Amino acid sequence: MQFDVMASSLPLADMQTLSKRIETAGLDGIWLTEGGRTAYLSCAASALATERVTLGTAIALAFPRSPMITAQVAWELAQASNGRFVLGLGTQIKPHIERRFSMPYDPPGPRLREYVLALKAIFQAFQEKSPLKFEGEYYHHELWGTTWNPGPIDHPDVPVYISAVRPWMCRMAGEVADGLHFHPFHSPEYIQDQMLPHIQAGADRAGRDLAEVMFVIPIMICVGDTDEELSQTREHARTMIAFYGTTRAYASVFEQHGYNDLCAQLHSKQKAGDFKGQIALVTDEVLDNYVVTATWDNMAGLLATRYQGLAPNMRLMTYTAMSQMSQNPEVLERWGAVAKELNNLG
């Protein structure tokens, strides 16, 4: 079982330094988020600074860029990384796409599905396996020539993963994507009962085996050697769940465990500006459904037990390592030791 780290994009020289440290520590992959900085440039810095780790976006925003621009960037990153790059895409929410990027959003599911298919057609044209000819409802690509073709590369099969939570997106991931990025606010039971059947249905519809879809699962992990350290990391996770839990699209994650009104209650507290009250709603009982609390010595075993057998192909990811590293830079080596132990556990 591979174990990765999620990191925010940094100034490029800093990204190179961090990437070298992550690889040396023994982690298996680096997934870059996109916020104030682009994930792609950080992936480029990482690719040039490392030799072994998987590199990917988790996620880059699809809709602000045309499929052609995204394909060009992904192609260069695949070449620079010797095939280690994974393109992870997501939709974001409507206000950001329309009011921050001034780009079309609706309907997000069908639009992203077509985006993935367009990328695969463009990659085929880049590798000179077929002419460029993609005609969809939202994207059209047919103007072509040698001037604009980056040309064949040694690792042309660029994996395309998408982020998904709701049933339609899960079915789409199973049908057309190479992998699925899960949300850190989840439980294994929610994935098993509410997501996996839809992913399987999408794979069945396309005549694919579920093993063709990589599951990438970021996990909120509360870790420490002492009760005080564990308490600190649990409070950080409690705050994150109080924040994520206000999103109505995630209400079903609470409902899986019987917390049917919790999303509405969190949203009400947030609207009233009662942040302390909002966090207090995430009790220890609630928290334990969505986080792993472990000492450094038993973390690998707990992770393996919690997620083993959930999917044929799976990568786990620490969602919290970078926030801990900002307080203690030496903690990265301890995460690397966990990765090595998980690799040995299979």
Q: Which domains does the chain have, with CATH numbers?
A: 2-225+292-341 (3.20.20.30)
3 state SS of 53: coil
Of 193, 189, 167, nearest to 180 (Cα)? 167
What stretches in the chain show pLDDT beneath 70?
Answer: 346
Question: Which pLDDT belongs to residue 323?
Answer: 84
Q: Which residues on adjacent β-strands are paired with residue 217?
A: 316
Question: Which pLDDT belongs to residue 199?
Answer: 98
Q: CA-CA distance, 215 to 195, in Å (whole number)?
A: 11
Question: Which pLDDT belongs to residue 181?
Answer: 98
Backbone angles phi, psi at 144, to 5 degrees: -150, 165
Question: Which pLDDT belongs to residue 168?
Answer: 97
Backbone angles phi, psi at 170, to 5 degrees: -65, -45
The string of DSSP letters for 161-225 reads EEE--SHHHHHHHHHH-SEEEPPSS--HHHIIIIIHHHHHHHHHHTT--GGGSEEEEEEEEEE-S
Question: Which pLDDT belongs to residue 245?
Answer: 93
Question: Which pLDDT belongs to residue 325?
Answer: 82
